[in-house]
Amino acid sequence: MTTASRTNLGPLTTTFRPPSSCSLVGRDCATCDYGYQAQTCSDNSANTIGMQDNANCWPPRSNLDVATPAALVGWGFYSPGLICPTGYQTACRATGSVDGGFGFMFSPAPSETAIGCCPTGYTCRFDRSYEVAQTCVSIATASSFPTLQCSSGFIVTTGSATVPISVTIVDSGSALTTSITALTLEAPLFQLMVQATDRITTNTDFSSSATSIFPTSSSSLSATSSLTHAPTTGLSKGAVAGIAIGSVVGGLALLGGLAYLFYRRYNKHKKLGPGAVQYTQAPMDPHTDKPELMADMSGTKYPTPAPMYEAPVTPAPTAELPSPPDQLYTLRSELP
């Protein structure tokens, strides 16, 4: 078992968006049950499948000469590495000072944490006992994807494949139709290295499809827990000032309203005088309303009625019409 030499490809602190052609799955043959992503056709003698890693599918590197003539053999790691490329996410990790974790091709130092970025839905794979390099792997059993095939260093066909794939095999003049029910897809694993002293700068580009390498859980990378999430946009200074002014004006308006109500209540009480009672019900009509006797008027808001007195009445003198004495009157009437 050998350990690969540590090759730092440079920093990866901004969003990298691979070209759309990096999603093509290169298949060595029509009946092959495997395929590679992020490849370009090649006829160099270092590979046997006619493909090699496409340098344009890798994030920018400080050393442009770093490349491999074969497919998926690993180039190195990015340090400091803070963001997985667009379409990739954190799939594995390991801390140099902690036992366990994924066994990366480029082992992290005691002060480092290694992060493996894979396409969404892929997992990290590397077995030092028989594999040359670390890769990202996905088993497709019911999906469609774009494909390409190479010949003599050139693309000879492009199209799409849908699993399960029906293929026809001709052997000794006989045709046999079979089906590929599972296709093993491999893609480059981008290894990032980060230390506790690494920090995201203010000009770091977090797009909606870029993924920070740091987990939401605080169980790991505690020294860099502040880098877990992309920075969010808070309220602007103008918005904060507007909210503060609105709160002050609203408070003053409320206090003013309470003061006005208190003033009106006090002024009305002053006009009525002490002991005055304010009636809130309609006055009684003496012709239609009949007052009811109250058993106890004490303690109520109605005052004790004042006593009633009758004014003295002097009898008027009786006057008779004068008439002469002993005078007789004759009543005349005419009968029909």
Q: What is the pLDDT along the chain (336 residues), one digit of tens a residue?
A: 456 688 999 999 999 999 999 999 998 888 888 999 999 988 877 777 788 899 999 999 987 777 677 788 889 999 999 999 999 999 999 998 787 889 999 999 999 999 999 999 999 999 988 888 999 999 999 888 899 888 878 888 788 888 988 888 877 778 888 888 999 999 999 999 999 888 654 444 434 445 566 543 333 333 333 333 334 345 555 655 667 677 766 777 777 777 777 767 666 555 555 554 454 444 555 555 554 444 444 444 445 555 555 555 555 555 554 555 554 444 444 444
Beta bridge partners of 195: 112
What's the confidence (pLDDT) of residue 271? 53
Radius of gyration (Cα) for the chain, nearest Å?
A: 51
User: What is the DSSP annotation of 151-218?
Assistant: ETTEEEEEEEEESSEEEEEEETTEEEEEEE--EEEEEE-EEEEEETT----TT----TT-EESS-S-T
Cα separation, 269 vs 264, whole angstroms:
9
Place of tokens 């001709």: 170
Burial of 34 (C-beta count, 10 Å sphere; 0-12/13-18/19+):
middle
What's the confidence (pLDDT) of residue 216? 39
What sections of 67-187 are H helices per DSSP?
none
Cα separation, 46 vs 72, whole angstroms:
12
Cα separation, 119 vs 46, whole angstroms:
26
Strand 25-26, strand 34-37: pairing: antiparallel
Which amino acid would we find at residue 148? L
Cα separation, 137 vs 126, whole angstroms:
10
Say if residues 91 and 135 touch (Cβ distance below 8 Å): no
Which run of H or E residues covers position 52?
Answer: strand 51-53
Q: What are the backbone angles phi and psi of residue 195, rounded to the nearest 5°?
A: -115, 165
What's the confidence (pLDDT) of residue 285? 53
Structure tokens belonging to residue 17: 């968006």
Cα separation, 315 vs 283, whole angstroms:
36
pTM score of the predicted model: 0.59
Cα separation, 245 vs 311, whole angstroms:
72
What's the confidence (pLDDT) of residue 8? 93
Cα separation, 46 vs 70, whole angstroms:
6
Cα separation, 39 vs 149, whole angstroms:
10
What's the confidence (pLDDT) of residue 71? 84
Cα separation, 234 vs 282, whole angstroms:
60
Which amino acid would we find at residue 86? T
What's the confidence (pLDDT) of residue 158? 82
Say if residues 191 and 78 touch (Cβ distance below 8 Å): yes
